[in-house]
Structure 1
Amino acid sequence: MKTWLISSFRHAAWAPFTVFVFYAVAAKTFNAYIRFPWLDMPTHFAGGIAMAYFYLIVIRHAQLLTGAIPLVIQGLLSVGLTAVTAILWEFLEYLSDIAFGTMMNLGVADTLSDLFFGLSGACLLVVALSFFIYGETGIRSDREN
Structure 2
Amino acid sequence: MTKDEMDAIFAKHVAAEANNDVEAILETLTDDAEHDAVGDPEGLLTDREAIARRYRALFGALAEDKFETQRRYYGEDFFVDDSHWYGRVTGEFMGIPGGNRPLNFRILHVCEFRDGRISRENVWLDMAAIMSQLAPSAHA
TM-score by length of structure 1 reads 0.29
Which protein is bigger by CA-based radius of gyration? Answer: 1
Higher helix share: 1
TM-score by length of structure 2 reads 0.29
Higher strand share: 2
